[in-house]
Amino acid sequence: MSASTHGHGTVLKHHFDNLEQQHSAERLGMWFFLVTEVLFFTGMFVAYTVYRNWYPGEFAFASSHLLWWVAAINTGLLITSSLTMTLAIRSAQLGDKAGLIRRLLLTFALGAGFMGFKAFEYATDYHEKFVPGEMFRTEYARPLAELTADDAKRKFEGRPALTRTEVESYQFKGEYEHWSQDLAKRNYGREPATEGTVSPERVQLFLCFYYIMTGIHGVHIIVGLGCILWLVFEAYRGAIPREAYSKVEVISLYWHLVDMIWLFLMPLLYLIRSGGGQ
């Protein structure tokens, strides 16, 4: 059979009785895969839950220094891409090839926009050294060193040491990242692990969760974009007649799941600041 003939003989596979049964099987196959994907992410969410429960202050601190406005834009892009993907199914069901290709390309553009903002966000975080490891530790040490030097100078001049209020309103002379200034102000002059302090190691732990969870989500977005491009190619060559709309539907099921995961990921990583972490 050639791909250019699109009656039931091509779309309906020989081991199915009818198209409805075939479509049901296709949907169920994708749903079974989605079950495994959800459990995959559940592992990360469980681990996140444990550590957020143990270190709420550090998680809230780190979250408050992420680019929440980028996450907000990304949320809008992803929800809109789910809309266009659902409308693409409708176009496929109605046999509207041009509409199908248009809506698939729109979905792709929105998903690519998401990844573009994600790349900008990662680049900004990297530039600000808000990355777990040596860069973080080095950047954190810099404002602390200035505070220590200032205190030493005061002591040499016979003046009292910096009070807590002075530390909190301290204007740094050097150029340091916003998060390292805040972290230094929180911890300077306090014993580690006492009330009010924020452990830099646990902040880095949050960052590990942030990069791994959003990174793996990003990989899923890229895979989804590849599948959407494949659909565009299939639609362009006429391989998605009305009877084969389920090709679009199964990819849309995957895309909606990736969207749903983001709807939970975003508030858990970016929106801790409203006091839920303290």
Partner 1 sequence: MAHDPHHNPGDPPTLHDVDTVSSVVTVYAVVLALAVVNILLTFAALGPMALPVQLGIGAVQACLVAWYWMHMRRGDTAVTLSAFTTLFFMFIFFVLVLADVLTRWRAAI
CB of 34 to partner 1, least distance (A): 8
> Nearer Cβ to partner 1, position 24 or 138?
24
> Nearer Cβ to partner 1, position 149 or 238?
238
> Nearer Cβ to partner 1, position 83 or 216?
83
> Nearer Cβ to partner 1, position 180 or 204?
204
What whole-number distance in Å separates Cα of residue 213 and Cα of residue 182? 25
The values of phi and psi at residue 163, to 5°, are -80, 170
Binding site residues, partner 1, CB under 8 A: 8, 12, 17-21, 24, 27-28, 31-32, 34-35, 38-39, 42-43, 46, 49-50, 53-54, 68, 72, 75-76, 79-80, 82-83, 85-87, 89-90, 93-95, 193, 241-243, 245, 249, 252-253, 256-257, 259-260, 263-264, 266-268, 271-276, 278
> Nearer Cβ to partner 1, position 28 or 145?
28
CB of 38 to partner 1, least distance (A): 5
What tokens were used for 21? 């049964």
Cβ–Cβ < 8 Å for 33, 44: no
Instruction: Tally helices (H) and strands (E) across the chain.
Output: 10, 0
CA dist 79 → 114, 211, 215, 267 (Å): 11, 22, 19, 15
Cβ–Cβ < 8 Å for 30, 250: yes
> Nearer Cβ to partner 1, position 114 or 245?
245
Compute and round to an integer the Cα radius of gyration of the chain: 26
> Nearer Cβ to partner 1, position 18 or 163?
18
What whole-number distance in Å separates Cα of residue 28 and Cα of residue 117? 33
> Nearer Cβ to partner 1, position 43 or 196?
43
CB of 32 to partner 1, least distance (A): 6
CB of 217 to partner 1, least distance (A): 14
What whole-number distance in Å separates Cα of residue 184 and Cα of residue 139? 10
Q: Return the sign of the alpha-carbon dihedral for residues 84, 87, 91, 92.
A: positive
What whole-number distance in Å separates Cα of residue 119 and Cα of residue 125? 10
CB of 118 to partner 1, least distance (A): 17
CB of 182 to partner 1, least distance (A): 18
Q: How many residues does the chain have?
A: 278
Cβ–Cβ < 8 Å for 112, 74: no
Instruction: Please choose, from the candidates 217, 242, 251, the residue with its C-alpha nearest in 3D space to the C-alpha of residue 82.
Output: 251
CB of 233 to partner 1, least distance (A): 22
CB of 264 to partner 1, least distance (A): 5
